[in-house]
Structure 1
């Protein structure tokens, strides 16, 4: 299954970085797409669904696991031509004083897409999301 992992360090406390990943709609102003909450999750946020796209065109992600300050996992629930797509984001303190983020996306397309093409697309999407979160973190500092 094609996957992509991006590691980066944010110059911000772990709780701030984690919040922007877990509360997906907080980064909407900093991305070229709209991100909005379409269904809240339980008290911890698990089960929350977010629409990413423009109006009714886009995908819906569902948060499947949250470990505050440590880990977030989600899947694509609808809107993409995939059999399975998951994202796993881990958070740790970095020796520099910031937050180390490891963001992995794995995708199994339902259409025949060459693995290198899909991997490159996943990496580009991950970097775009990280860039938006970096801007959101800077705006809240």
Structure 2
């Protein structure tokens, strides 16, 4: 089991289908961390579903994530499959709804490739989420 975990959570006052659609869209999802991404391979049954691959970043600093579980309006799981300073990675995003809002529970697990960098990577992910996600998710809410 990976040694490091990052748990991120948010409540979005929007229907779960809209929030899930945002997270499932590879280009929009990466903006939650202030990055740019693109789908480089379509999924088996759905363009952004199981087997689809998104590339985050560009050039030597890019890395690929592959969708390994996809249940509309419920969950998305992905793994880093190329690049990145981490290994044994699993990202799990869970969605639940109630009272006109969507709850997001997002867990990232990994081991660093470079010793003694795990805590720094955790802090970096948390910082990028806090800097970008609240504003972007607020944009999904209905007035």
Give the TM-score range, shorter chain.
0.7 to 0.9
Distance 2:35 2:95 in 1: 24
Alignment of 1:4 onto 2:2:
no
Deviations 1:104-124 (A, max 9, x none): 111111111244323222322
* In structure 2, distance between residues paired with 1:71 and 1:63: 11
Matched, 1:34 2:47: no
Distance 1:88 1:31, change over 3 A: closer
Equivalent residue, structure 2, for 1:112? 115
Shift of 1:17: 0.4
C-alpha distance in 2, partners of 1:73/1:6?
A: 14
SS at match of 1:88: strand
Which secondary structure does the structure 1 equivalent of 2:137 belong to? helix
TM-score normalized by the length of structure 2: 0.82
- 1:137 is paired with a residue whose SS is coil
| TM-score relative to the length of structure 1 | 0.83
Gaps of 5+ in 1: none
Helix, strand or coil at the partner of 2:38: strand
Aligned length: 139
- The alignment status of 1:73 with 2:44, answered yes or no, reads no
Residue number among 111, 124, 129 corresponding to 2:127 in the alignment: 124
Kindly indicate whether the alpha-carbon contact (under 8 Å) linking 1:71 and 1:90 is maintained by their aligned counterparts in 2. Answer: yes
Partners in 2 of 1:69 and 1:122 — Cα distance?
24
CA contact (8 A) 1:35 1:52 kept: yes
Shift of 1:59: 1.2
Distance 1:31 1:110 in 2: 21
CA RMSD of aligned residues (A): 2.6
